[in-house]
Structure formats: structure tokens, C-alpha cells
Chains A and B, each alone.
Chain A
């Protein structure tokens, strides 16, 4: 009789214990598993987005350096035109990220990449201006020092590099969408990762 009683109770206890252990193990493993899964997905997503940004800024730099408004122009085209040219490439890879043009409108309504065009230097600057999960395309131009002639009677030389062609920088900067939950990433709003990729080149000079 006692043996039967023991035989009935023992498996129930063991089953409860096993079930409890399985739940505890599951509770421990699930966060780890999710951490690994989300980490791997995010790393892949980040790589795809960064890869698209690298090729887009290179393409943007080529466009900005070669396409002036006239054949003799050394001025890069409107920043919005450069953004439009490369945003297609960015949009295909940047899921859930808004792409904007960083533009200081000048007096003529244009968005020339001249010395007044100050690009944001940190992704946080973009977030403060445009909100979370936004990257901006900024085109800036650094002009060489002016080749002003020295006053009569002075043998002062022109500043070095004064006849250089301007340098164009195309920058993609901001926060891209990711799976990083709020509080775990560097972004203020969560679900985003910072990015800052640029390409620089000289503008094409149609000189002999």
C-alpha cells in the first residue's frame, strides 16, 4: 500500500519540480536569447545602413564636385539636388529612417553649399533640430583663401593654395532606426543608433 502511495506521489513531485525548473531556465534564457537575436539583427541592419551611406556619400561627392550650374562654375549644386540624387539609394536600405536635406536657405531661396552652410557636427545636433530617427544629407564647401594682390611696394606672396579649387564635403549624419530599446542605446529616444559618414573631394575645375 505504502509503495503504491509513494509510487503515485513521487512522479507528481518530480513533474512539478521539472516544470518549475524549466520555467526558471526559460526565464533566464529568454532574455539572453532575445539579446543575442536583437544584437545580431541590429548589427546586420547597422552594417546594411552604413554600407548604403558610404556609397551614397561617395556618389554625392562625385555629383557635387562635378556638376556645377555652368560648365565653368566651381560652385557645387544646390544641397537639395544632391540630397535628391542620393536619397533613393539611402531609402532602399534605411528602414524606418527619415532622410532630409540640411539646408540654410540663402537670400535667393537657394541652398548653396557655400561657407554659410554649416553642417551639424554631431548626430545629437540633428536630433535636436529634426527629431529622432532622422538622418540629414549636408553638402558644404570650403573655399581656398582669396588670392588678393599685395599692396604696391610689398613683396608679400599670395597665401598658399589660394588658387585651389574649393573642397566639397557630403555628410550623412543623424540617428538611424534600429532595434535597440530605449535606455540601452546612445540615442535619446531609443530604437536608434548614431551615424556620421562623410566624403570629401575637390570640385572639378574646367581649366586646361
Chain B
């Protein structure tokens, strides 16, 4: 009788431990996964912010000559011939900054450079940006770098009428999306979610360009 009670206590202790340890490990895995997600999100924000800003580091109205290319994260080469040089600068900054945790990310590809667009207001209807002619469609980052007018003049960005109503300001926007996949890491044991991260940044032309 006594022996069986002791056995019962031991079995209960083993059972409790067997229940608690996986729960603890599950919590730790998810805690670390959230930390990684926050860090990757910050890097994505930083990379898109630098990309948007770099569009203005290129000479105004400069256009990439034939044979120019850039720098996909997935190993794809993005042809930039005929596109504004600021577009390649934006991509180079994005890919140059987004160098860590690449193995965990599944990118949602988009058109590298889009053209124009208008946020709209009470009197002007919103106009979505359109793909810049000849821009590669398999980029991990997408930047609205502006439109090319007659005579080769490139107008930066799209018109954001919320910034300087009613006429608005020409701003450059860059965005990127990726899902964070822990499947190939030890965290896969306890992390069953695949968050999708989005980053969106805007940059205004510097004062000497406004």
C-alpha cells in the first residue's frame, strides 16, 4: 500500500516534469523568435529608410546606361539600364544594409522602380504609381522614384498631398515585404507561426533639391 503510494508520487513527479519542460522550452523558443522578429523588422525599416534617402544621392536626371545592373538578395541580377540612377542607388543601399538574417526571409518580390502617383485630396483623385518602363519585377524592394518627363527630366517620387496641402510634396517611398520562416532553425521545434514583415519609408528631397 505504502509502496504503491510512493510509486504514485514518483510517477506524478515525472509526469509533472514531462509536462512542464516542453512548455518551458516552447515559451523560450517563442520568446527568442519574437526577439528575432523585432530585430529583423528594425533592419528592414533601416534598409528601406536608407534606400529612400539614397535616391537623392544620385545626380539629378541621371539615367543608367546600357549594361548597368544591381544586386538582388536572392542572387538575381536586376537590370537597371534606362532607369534613373537614383533607383539603382536605392536598391544598392537596401541590399547592402539587409545582409543579416537573409536565410530566414522569404521575400515578396515587386517592381524595383515605380513611377509617379498621387496621394490625392478632396479635389484630386488618388493615382497609384505604375511600374517604371523596363524596371525588373523580381526585386525584394520597391521604390517609387518618380517619373521621367519630356526632355529626360526625372521628377522625384510621388505627390503626397498630406505633407504640404493642397499642392503636396514630391516624396520618394520605398517598401519591402518578407515572411520570417524559422523552419530551418532550431526554433522550429516550438515556433509554429510565420510572421509577415512590412517596411515602408519616405524621404523628402534635401533642401538644395527642393
The interface of chain A, by Cβ under 8 A from chain B, is 17, 21, 25, 28-29, 32, 36, 39-40, 43-44, 46-47, 50-51, 54-55, 57-58, 61-62, 65, 160-161, 163-165, 167, 169, 196-208
User: Which B residues are CB-close (under 8 A) to A29?
Assistant: 17
Q: Is the CB of A196 within 8 A of B49?
A: no
- Expressed in whole angstroms, the Cα–Cα distance for A199 and B46 within the complex equals 8
- Neighbour of A51 across the interface among B6, B42, B50, CB < 8 A: B42
**Interface pair B57/A204, CB less than 8 Å apart:** yes
Report A173 CB to chain B, min CB distance, Å.
11
Known A39-B32, A58-B97, A164-B85; 17 more pairs at CB < 8 Å: A25-B13, A36-B28, A43-B31, A50-B39, A55-B46, A163-B59, A165-B58, A197-B43, A198-B100, A200-B50, A201-B54, A201-B97, A204-B206, A205-B57, A205-B58, A206-B208, A208-B59
Query: Cβ of B57 and Cβ of A200 under 8 Å apart?
Result: no
A-chain residues with CB within 8 Å of residue B206 when the two chains form the complex? 204
Which of chain B's residues has its CB closest to A197's CB? B100
Residues of the B chain whose Cβ atoms lie less than 8 Å from the Cβ of A204 = 56-57, 206
Known pairs A17-B6, A55-B46, A197-B100; A47 contacts B38 (CB<8 A): yes
Contacts of A169 in B (CB 8 A): 96
Determine the residue in chain A with the shortest Cβ distance to B35.
A47
- Tell which of B43, B65, B208 touches A54, judged by Cβ atoms closer than 8 Å: B43
B24 contacts partner chain A, Cβ-Cβ < 8 Å: yes
CB-based contact B28/A201 at 8 Å: no
How many A-B pairs fall under 8 Å by CB?
103
Residue in chain B with minimal CB distance to A162: B65
B96: contacting residue among A161, A164, A198, A203, CB under 8 A: A198
Residues of B at under 8 Å CB distance from A?
6, 9-10, 13, 17, 21, 24, 27-28, 31-32, 35, 38-39, 42-43, 46-47, 49-50, 53-54, 56-60, 62, 65, 67-68, 85, 89, 92-93, 96-97, 99-100, 206, 208
Residue contacts A-B, CB under 8 angstroms, 29 given = A28-B17, A29-B17, A40-B28, A43-B35, A47-B39, A51-B39, A54-B42, A54-B46, A55-B42, A65-B57, A160-B68, A163-B62, A164-B85, A165-B58, A165-B89, A197-B100, A198-B100, A199-B46, A199-B50, A200-B92, A200-B93, A201-B93, A201-B97, A202-B92, A204-B57, A206-B208, A207-B59, A208-B59, A208-B60
